[in-house]
Chains A and B, each alone.
Chain A
Amino acid sequence: MKTVDDQTPSDKVRRPGAPATRRDFLAGAAVASAAAATVGMLSQKAGAQTPADGQGAGCEAAPAPLRPPEIERCAAMPATRADFSAKPMTGAQLFANLCKDEELAGFFLCPGNYSIANELAQAGIPTFGGRTEGGMCAMADGFSRASNEVVACSGTEGPGFCHMTMNIAAAHFANTPLLVLASNATMGAEDTQTFLQFMMQQPVTSSIRKYGKRIIMPARIYEYGATAFRQIKTGVPGLAHLDFPRETYAATFKDASEVVRMFNKTQYRSDTRAAPSAKEMATAVSMITKAERPVLVAGHGVYWREAYDVLLKTAERHEMCIVGSGPTRGHVPDDHRLDGSRSTSALMSADLVVFVGQYLMPAVGDYTFPVGVPTIRVHPEQGDLGHNWPIDLGIVSDEKLFIEALGNALPNKKRAAWVNEIASAKKKQDEHELATVQTGLGYSQSTGLLHPSTICKEVHDFLYTGSIDPKQTLTGYGSNLMGAHAGRWLRGFRPGQEIVTYYQFGAMGPDVAMMIGAGAAIQAGIGPQKAYKGAPALVLTGDAGMGFTLMELDTATKYKIPLIAVVYNNNCWGMQFTTKQTPKAEQLYMFQENIRYDKIAEVLGARGEYCKTQQQLHDALGRAYQAAQRDNVSTLINCQGHKDFSLNDKYPGMGGFGPEPGVRAQMH
């Protein structure tokens, strides 16, 4: 076995034309950009000599963005799997084979970490290249939330990795099964300051990952990769971060004997799951049967373990109220008669709560349940039972196995009074939300601008009450003021239909990119999106959060992933109410007014729409949906609002983020 430092130039495994190092790449890029700049200057000069052509003297008609032909060309190429038969394998190739064997569902990156990234693409893993590491990390997260599959993201050492950090944290707190890959500089140059971009990555993610490793022994690259997949896929899913110094990814191996612990996946991990004991089940069944108003909170684990169908059967048999929680919604359908996610008041009547697969436990008082309510918690790992919320019965079990056992053990039971109470509370809450929209409508009419409550209601009516199959469109939401209303009106009618982009970590900004990633999953019809393959994705967001990943509309356009981004443009961060006692600070919260984000979208090859009224929004949604379905084209709908809509003393009656669990939940 040789490490990179031992290699002669002829040893290096390199495809023709591929840059060997980031430095080579940068050098090449510098030449290319210099050439491009020269061409640009020449064309400007030529333009200056061109007579007026209707676009203004001295201006050339700007060509429209073109999708690069490489997208289809690369997609048509066969994938190849490296092996030891012809020549030595690199560490990167070993790792790519591992990812392929583990059926890595998607890979999202911004160039950097070239050897690993290129080998994963070559091995046939669906790979997407975009504009920023942070955006692509969020895209990977969104793809996983929508598809329920393991994904990876990648960036270069140092800067690229740092750019990813916010969205690594967002993925971690949503328990996304995400493999974060980042290259690192050579170990040989460590502590010498002789190489750009060097930093120690692992300490950065120490509190935002399930597993992390800087791989320093080339022969163990496969072993640590396998460990990462074991950590991601077993127990409570989570995030693993591997970083590869050049000595590991570029090392070469003549045969398998030079690689340590290169086992098959059936040997380095197991799919066995914990099942509840008969005694525990008997106790649980007794408690649930005796309860008059039981509520089952179906957490993230119910979605991850695909236990949603058996959950509905079990709940219906015993007439238990069910509420979904987690970073995706829909595994408890919002239109189910036993769904309690819009029956907040009724949840306060529960006399027993059963948490199943609630990976992030609320503290007592965070969830709308009665004070001191008896509680059963079912969780795949013992260590979290009793965390935050005292329990009367704790069961270590796989979520699906528990619900199946419960379904077999519970007797048929009717709870008419409880079902009526849930329905009555839902009706009352819906009426309250409609009254809020009426208030918002008044604000819209008095200002001639769109209030976020009316935007969200219009989107609701468009997606769920017209000719579109209500289960079809994949939605998500972020942003502050928009988010406070979006949860009330977006719906999850089937598993994985709605994504809460800022779940738990509360990151403003990943939402547009995350929903492009989710859009990639529904375009490919992966996992729970299978029945709706090819349907559009829609995100409700704001001008503040959107700014973080707006450029990724280029990525959406490039890959023909149709996203409808409904942007509430209120010319500000929306937090100026915090300056009541410090008015000099108010300017900090303002943007330029009336920025036309729709025009930026057009420049990036997407469509743009501009709306100030509900009717205009309705019409724009129709055109956007048609473009998405027919041509796979994204649209940004710029909904012009008013900065003062954020001020409850001027425009009262709106409220903030609502109680949990339920449609407005974003913390747990």
Chain B
Amino acid sequence: MNRAAAENRRPIRRRVAAAADRLGAPTQILTRYAERGVFRSFTAFPASGSRAAFSMLWHKDRNFDLIVDVTRKTIHVPVVLPNVAARSPMQREYRRFLEGFHNGELPVHRAIDQRKSVLRCVNRRGSVAITVEVRDGDYAYATEKLLAVIHETYLLFLQLGGYADYMVEHLGGNPDWGK
């Protein structure tokens, strides 16, 4: 019997308790960052079964929704970057930027161990979404890494990558300073 099947055979109460444990780690991490002033505001919506949803006012005063789904074993941010055309040079560059977290380009303390978590990026109608697949059940690790990826997206990818116009047009950047 594989692990998923075994999981499904456990009593519902125990499954709910296990899900709550897994949801607890992201909640704690996000709450801690909120308390440190990383986010300008933070909302934890009531958990529903194996899912929990959060909303943070963060970079460029944008709201970032974050959804943890322990059944699918994912943490998902539906809009990391808005208004990016699919198959555009920016989208391609961003995929390359994300690959850097897995391909050894970054030092170990910044990289993402693929045995633990894997980043996936999709563009849905112009919104660049990131999903982290949690491979080893370490939701704390996955949450920390996902937040770091979004943080680096705004502070390194956009600012070092020459996306001043994009930041002005789509993120409310100041035209004089391009950020």
A-side residues, CB < 8 A to B, are: 292-293, 344-345, 348-349, 351, 364-365, 368, 370-372, 389-390, 421, 429, 432, 436, 480, 484, 506, 508, 575, 577-578, 648-649, 652-659, 666-667
Instruction: Collect the chain B residues with CB atoms within 8 Å of residue A349's CB.
Output: 107, 109-110
Question: Measured between alpha carbons, how far is A561 from B36 in the docked complex, in Å?
Answer: 50
B160 touches A371 (CB 8 A): no
| Known contacts A345-B156, A506-B177, A655 near B38 by CB under 8 Å | no
7 examples of A-B residue contacts, CB within 8 angstroms: A365-B155, A370-B151, A389-B37, A390-B36, A655-B164, A656-B179, A658-B159
B161 touches A371 (CB 8 A): no
Instruction: Collect the chain A residues with CB atoms within 8 Å of residue B110's CB.
Output: 348-349
B144 and chain A: residue at smallest CB distance = A371
Given contacts A351-B109, A429-B160, 10 further A-B contacts (CB under 8 A): A292-B109, A344-B156, A365-B38, A371-B148, A389-B37, A436-B162, A506-B176, A578-B168, A648-B164, A667-B177
- Judged by a CB distance under 8 angstroms, whether B165 is at the interface is yes
A508 and chain B: residue at smallest CB distance = B176
Contact residues of B between 150 and 179, Cβ < 8 Å to A? 151-152, 154-156, 159-165, 167-168, 175-179
B175 touches A365 (CB 8 A): no
Min CB distance, A655 to chain B, in Å? 4
Contact residues of B between 107 and 147, Cβ < 8 Å to A? 107, 109-110, 147
- Judged by a CB distance under 8 angstroms, whether B33 is at the interface is yes
**Which of B151, B152, B163, B165 lies in contact with A577, CB distance below 8 A?**
B165
Instruction: Collect the chain A residues with CB atoms within 8 Å of residue B37's CB.
Output: 364, 389-390
Question: Measured between alpha carbons, how far is A364 from B37 in the docked complex, in Å?
Answer: 7
Question: Measured between alpha carbons, how far is A653 from B160 in the docked complex, in Å?
Answer: 10
Instruction: Collect the chain A residues with CB atoms within 8 Å of residue B36's CB.
Output: 364, 372, 390
Question: Measured between alpha carbons, how far is A508 from B156 in the docked complex, in Å?
Answer: 26
**Which of B58, B107, B163, B178 lies in contact with A365, CB distance below 8 A?**
B58
Most buried by B among A372, A390, A657: A372
Instruction: Collect the chain B residues with CB atoms within 8 Å of residue A654's CB.
Output: 162, 164
Question: Measured between alpha carbons, how far is A332 from B143 in the docked complex, in Å?
Answer: 36
Instruction: Collect the chain A residues with CB atoms within 8 Å of residue B164's CB.
Output: 484, 648, 654-657
Instruction: Collect the chain B residues with CB atoms within 8 Å of residue A484's CB.
Output: 164, 178
B156 touches A655 (CB 8 A): no
**Which of A344, A372, A436, A658 lies in contact with B38, CB distance below 8 A?**
A372
B148 touches A370 (CB 8 A): yes
Min CB distance, A372 to chain B, in Å? 5
B side interface size, CB within 8 A: 31
Question: Measured between alpha carbons, how far is A510 from B109 in the docked complex, in Å?
Answer: 43
B160 touches A348 (CB 8 A): no
Min CB distance, A244 to chain B, in Å? 36
Question: Measured between alpha carbons, how far is A43 from B6 in the docked complex, in Å?
Answer: 107
Instruction: Collect the chain B residues with CB atoms within 8 Å of residue A667's CB.
Output: 177
Min CB distance, B100 to chain A, in Å? 10
- Judged by a CB distance under 8 angstroms, whether B32 is at the interface is yes
6 closest Cβ pairs, A-B complex: A656-B178, A656-B164, A655-B162, A659-B159, A371-B151, A390-B37
B107 touches A432 (CB 8 A): no
B37 and chain A: residue at smallest CB distance = A390
A655 touches B160 (CB 8 A): yes
Question: Measured between alpha carbons, how far is A577 from B154 in the docked complex, in Å?
Answer: 22
| Known contacts A368-B156, A389-B37, A657 near B165 by CB under 8 Å | no
Min CB distance, A103 to chain B, in Å? 37
Question: Measured between alpha carbons, how far is A345 from B110 in the docked complex, in Å?
Answer: 10
B160 touches A344 (CB 8 A): yes
Instruction: Collect the chain B residues with CB atoms within 8 Å of residue A436's CB.
Output: 162
Question: Measured between alpha carbons, how far is A421 from B110 in the docked complex, in Å?
Answer: 12
Instruction: Collect the chain A residues with CB atoms within 8 Å of residue B165's CB.
Output: 577, 648-649
| Known contacts A370-B148, A371-B38, A371-B148, A659 near B175 by CB under 8 Å | no
Question: Measured between alpha carbons, how far is A508 from B176 in the docked complex, in Å?
Answer: 10
Min CB distance, A349 to chain B, in Å? 6
B176 touches A659 (CB 8 A): no
Instruction: Collect the chain B residues with CB atoms within 8 Å of residue A429's CB.
Output: 160
**Which of A292, A575, A658 lies in contact with B160, CB distance below 8 A?**
A658
Instruction: Collect the chain B residues with CB atoms within 8 Å of residue A480's CB.
Output: 176
